[in-house]
Copies of this chain bind each other. A is one copy, B any other.
Amino acid sequence: MIDDTVARTQVVEAADQLFYAHGVQAVGMDAVRTAAGVSLKRIYSLFPSKDALVAAVLERRRAQWNAGIAASAARAATVREKILAVFDFLDAWFREADFNGCAFINAYGELHDGNPDVTRTVREQKAAFQRYVADLVRDAGAPEPLAAQIAILAEGAQTTAAIAGTPEAAGQARAAAEVLIDAALA
């Protein structure tokens, strides 16, 4: 038998890919079992319900998002560039073959009604991102309202790129962010 940790990772990764590509409700637990190569019994011993699996998938997405943003920011020299690094991260993400919009937004739209945990998780994820941007804006010495504007650009770029099926929204949002930052610091 494979290790619990390994099995758990396989299940979450398979579920993430399927949920993200097809939507949570469109994917049955049988499909997760087949993709993960882990028996249903095992899956239900690792996660008490499909909702718990969804929560684990969102937690994985949260860690990936934070790591990606941090790595992109680490390549930036100035605070201004760290803010813009958000859009560089988005640009690279939008160009990935399986990009299909923000998993949190998708999950919220699909599940907010019957799953309060999802609503709370998504709301917290977005709030955390806004705090991250707000910290950078403060470090840059710019007025506070800039933070919300940058966050809105990032959200809009994600849905625009997802629906249009093209990545250029990242660059467009980045250009707008540059103008807003410069205006705020002037």
Contacts and interface: CB of A to CB of B under 8 A. Distances in A.
Copies of this chain present in the complex amount to 2
Contacts of A23: 109-113
B164 A126 contact: yes
Interface in A112-160: 112-114, 122-123, 126-127, 145, 148-149, 151-160
Interface residues of A, number: 48
A175 B48 CA distance: 46
Given A153-B176, A180-B176, A183-B183, A163 B22 contact: no
A46 interface: no
Given A159-B105, A165-B123, A172-B145, A110 B152 contact: no
A77 interface: no
